[in-house]
C-alpha cells in the first residue's frame, strides 16, 4: 500500500488497483485467491458503511435544521408570553421575576444598603 493513502477514496482506489493487478496475474498467484475474496468482501462492506454514514450525516443535518427552527419558534413564543405577563401584571409587579423578567423598581430599592466600612484588625502584639 502506498504511504500517501489518506482518504477513504484513496483506500478504495488502492484496493481496486490491487484487485485489477491480481486479476491480470491470477494464474501465477492462485494461492492467494482466499485473500482476494476477503479483500473484495471487506471493500464491499466498507462501501456499504460509507453509504450508511453519508445517509446518517444527511439525517443529522436535517435534524439540526429542524431543531434550530423549533428553538427559534419557541423563543418567539416565550418572548410573547413574557410580554403578555408584563401587559397583564404591570411593569413593576414583583411576580414578573417568576417569568424571567426584571420588574421596574425605584432607584432607592436598586441601591440597597450602603456598604459597610472595612474591618481593620489591630496589629499583633510584638513578640519578645
Domains identified in the chain, total number = 1
The candidate with the shortest Cα–Cα distance to 15, out of 51, 41, 34, is 41
Residue 54 lies in domain? 8-103
Residue 112 domain flag = no
Residue 120 domain flag = no
pLDDT by residue (tens digit) across 1-57? 455 658 999 999 999 999 999 988 888 887 888 888 999 999 999 999 999 999 999
Give the burial class of 19: count Cβ atoms within 10 A of its Cβ; 0-12 exposed, 13-18 middle, 19 or more buried. middle
Residue 61 domain flag = yes
Residue 56 domain flag = yes
Residue 128 domain flag = no
Residue 51 domain flag = yes
Residue 117 domain flag = no
- Top mean pLDDT of 27-31, 110-114, 117-121 is at 27-31
pLDDT by residue (tens digit) across 69-88? 999 999 999 999 999 989 98
Residue 3 domain flag = no
pTM over 0.75: no
Amino acid at each position: 500500500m502506498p504511504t500517501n493513502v489518506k482518504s477513504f477514496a484513496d483506500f478504495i482506489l488502492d484496493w481496486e488497483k490491487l484487485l485489477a493487478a491480481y486479476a491480470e496475474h491470477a494464474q501465477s498467484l492462485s494461492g492467494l485467491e482466499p485473500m482476494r475474496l476477503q479483500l473484495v468482501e471487506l471493500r464491499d462492506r466498507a462501501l456499504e458503511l460509507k453509504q450508511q454514514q453519508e445517509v446518517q450525516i444527511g439525517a443529522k443535518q436535517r435534524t439540526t435544521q429542524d431543531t434550530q427552527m423549533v428553538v427559534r419558534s419557541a423563543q418567539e413564543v416565550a418572548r410573547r408570553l413574557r410580554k403578555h405577563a408584563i401587559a397583564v401584571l404591570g411593569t413593576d409587579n414583583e411576580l414578573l421575576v417568576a417569568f424571567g423578567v426584571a420588574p421596574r423598581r425605584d432607584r432607592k430599592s436598586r441601591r440597597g444598603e450602603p456598604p459597610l466600612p472595612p474591618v481593620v484588625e489591630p496589629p499583633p502584639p510584638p513578640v519578645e
